[in-house]
Amino acid sequence: MRAVIAALIAALALAACVPEKPAPLRDPKGLISSAALFDPARFAGQWHVVQSGVPGCSGAQSWAWDGKAAYQVKGADCTGATAQLDDRIVLTGPGGRMIGHAGYGGEPIWVLWVDYDYRIAALGTPSGSWGLILSRQTPARPDLLKAAREVLDFNGYDLARMQP
């Protein structure tokens, strides 16, 4: 009996050490849309995370376009992972829909919106597990940041959890 109790205590202690997965930033049952007129070549280049569901995450800063169907992305993974990101992100469909091999939890990445001049963009996942706002400059232009936040709100993101 003591062995059973000791095993239960050990199992409970181990379960307490497993980090709890954070709640999604949006309801995954809600509708979500991607940027219909997405131009992958114009999206390429240097970006800075200005807001994320993971506060303080610097994000993928370098999006190098191969001219065909993929980006080589380097920076930090804003899904809560601590490892540096170095992944090939492949376009999977129209409207800025893509997926990586290991980065971003292996989930689909959607460009929800990018402004006309590709100065700021809102990215997220249909599952709502992460979302972020990228800008070419820091600080981001206030009017563009406001527009990106409105797009995230429209797609069901909890803006209170989107922090610098």
What pLDDT, on the 0 to 100 scale, is given for residue 158?
Answer: 95
Q: Give per-residue pLDDT as tens, 7-24.
A: 445 444 444 444 466 788
Kindly indicate the confidence band of residue 102, based on its pLDDT and cuts at 50, 70 and 90: confident
pTM exceeding the 0.85 threshold for the entire prediction: no
Report how far residue 102's alpha carbon sits from residue 162's, in angstroms, rounded to the nearest whole number: 23
Which token pair is 125? Answer: 């996942």
Report how far residue 105's alpha carbon sits from residue 46's, in angstroms, rounded to the nearest whole number: 22
Kindly indicate the confidence band of residue 56, based on its pLDDT and cuts at 50, 70 and 90: confident
Strand partners, 87: 73
User: Dihedral sign, CA of 159, 162, 163, 164?
Assistant: negative
